[in-house]
Amino acid sequence: MISLFAQERKKLLPLCLGSLTFFATPAALRNGDDAGQSGMHSKQIGVGLLDQPVNADFWTRRGQIGQDRQIVDDIAQRTGLDDKKPKLRRRNDGQGSSRTILVYACRTSILNDGMAKRPFSAVLITFNAADQLDSCLASLAFADEIVVVDANSSDATVAIAHRFHARVIASAWRGFGAQKRFAVDAASHDWVLCVDADERVSEDLRVAIEATLTDPRFSAYEMPRSNFFMGSYLRHGEGFPDWSLRLFDRRYAAWSDDAVHEKVISSAAVGRISSRDGLLHHSADILSVYLDKQNRYTSLQAEALYRAGKTPSHLRMLFSPALRFIKFYLLRLGFLDGIPGLVHISIGCFNSFIKYAKLFALHREHS
C-alpha cells in the first residue's frame, strides 16, 4: 500500500464541491474513501502536480491522513503549507488496511495548468471607435483570437485593430443584433466572448473567465458589468451588477436580431461568473454625448415596437418610468451612488417614457 502511495503522491485531483475546492490523493478516490466519494459526485477540474506551486494564502483545514507521516510532510512542504501540517489519523477501509488521505479545502478555485483552457474568440463590432478601441483590445490580450467586424469606419479603428493583431472583417451595417450574429459566426472557435468597443475586461474578470473556461459547467455565462458615468463607476441600482450574457458556446446560444438592446438567447441553462469589478463599461465620458446616444436608442426602440404592431397606453407611459425608479433607485440602492446615480436613473426613467411617446407619434404619423 505504501509503495502505491509513493508512486502517486506527486499527483492531486482538484475537485470542486460547492464554493470550496478539495484535493484528495488519487489512491483515496479509487479506494472509495469518504472524501473521495464526495468529490467524485462533484465537478472534476483536472489533474495537477504537487511540484507546481500552490498559493500559500489558501485557507486550509485539517484533513483525514493515513499512517505515512513522511508522505504528508512531503506534500505539505511542497505546497508551501508545511506550517499548517494536518494531524495523522489511522483510516481503516474495513478490510484491515489503512490508507493515506490528504484533503485541503480552499476558498478560491484553482486554475490548474494540467487542464487546458477551452480556446475562445473575443468578438466585437465597431464603427468609428478609435477613441476607445485601444483600451478595449488591450484588455482582450488573453483571448486566443480577436475578431473585429467593422462597419466601414472612417477613423483609425481598423489600424488600431490591426495593431493588436485582430482579424478585421469589413461589413456593411446590419443593425446591432444581426451584426453581432455575423461576428460570432465569423469566429474560429465555438466559445466566444462578446464585448463592445466601449468596454474593458477587468483583471479579476479575466482571471474568472479563464478559470471558467478550464471546465465550463454551462454553455453560456452572464457576467457583472460596471458602468462608468459622470466620472465614477456606479456600484448600485442600474449601474451594477447589470448582469450581461457575454461568454457562450455559439452552438447553444446566439444574439437576437433586435436592432437595438439586442440580447443573447441561450437554449440551455445560464451560469454566472463572479467578479468584483466585472466588465468595465465606458458608454460616454461627456453627458451630452450620452444623451445623444439615448435619443438614438429610444428612436430605434420605438420603430421596433411600431413594426411589431405595439400600441402605447397612458398607463404604460405613466407607470413604466415610476416602477423603474422604485426598482433601481430605491430597492436596489441606486441612491448610494450620489448625484451620478440620480442622474443615471433619471435618464433611464425618461427613456422609458419617451420611447412610448415616440411610438405614439409614429402611430399618429401613419394614421
Q: How confident is the model at residue 8 (pLDDT cuts 50, 70, 90)?
A: very low
Alpha-carbon distance of 359 to 242, in angstroms, equals 26
The mean pLDDT value for 6-15 works out to 36
Quick check: 63 pLDDT over 80? no
The predicted pLDDT at position 136 comes to 97
The predicted pLDDT at position 356 comes to 95
| pLDDT, tens digit (0-9, with 9 covering 90-100), for 195-247 | 999 999 999 999 999 999 999 999 999 999 999 999 999 999 998 999 999 99
- The model's pTM is 0.66
The predicted pLDDT at position 75 comes to 47
Binning the chain into helix, strand and coil, the percentages to the nearest 5 are: 40, 20, 40
Neighbours of 90 (CB within 10 A): 10
The alpha carbons of the chain give a radius of gyration, in whole angstroms, of 26
Quick check: 42 pLDDT over 50? no
Write the CB contacts of 308 (distance below 8 Å, at least 6 apart in sequence): none
The predicted pLDDT at position 73 comes to 53
The predicted pLDDT at position 115 comes to 62
The predicted pLDDT at position 259 comes to 79
CB-CB contact of 115 with 47 (8 Å): yes
| pLDDT, tens digit (0-9, with 9 covering 90-100), for 293-332 | 999 999 999 999 999 999 989 999 999 999 999 999 999 9
| Lookup result for grid cell 504537487 | 50
The mean pLDDT value for 179-198 works out to 97
The predicted pLDDT at position 79 comes to 43
* Pairing status of strand 264-266 against strand 271-272: unpaired
**Nine cell digits for residue 314:** 397612458
Quick check: 362 pLDDT over 50? yes
* Pairing status of strand 48-49 against strand 120-126: unpaired
The predicted pLDDT at position 116 comes to 79
**Choice between 184 and 67, residue whose per-residue pLDDT is larger:** 184
Quick check: 7 pLDDT over 80? no
Report phi then psi at 335, rounded to 5.
Answer: -65, -20
| pLDDT, tens digit (0-9, with 9 covering 90-100), for 124-158 | 999 999 999 999 999 999 999 999 999 999 999 99
Report helix, strand or coil for 40.
helix
- Least confident stretch, 97-101, 103-107, 234-238, 248-252: 103-107
Domain segments of the chain as ranges: 2-106, 120-281, 287-365
The predicted pLDDT at position 17 comes to 32
**Choice between 267 and 10, residue whose per-residue pLDDT is larger:** 267
| CATH class of domain segment(s) 120-281 | alpha beta
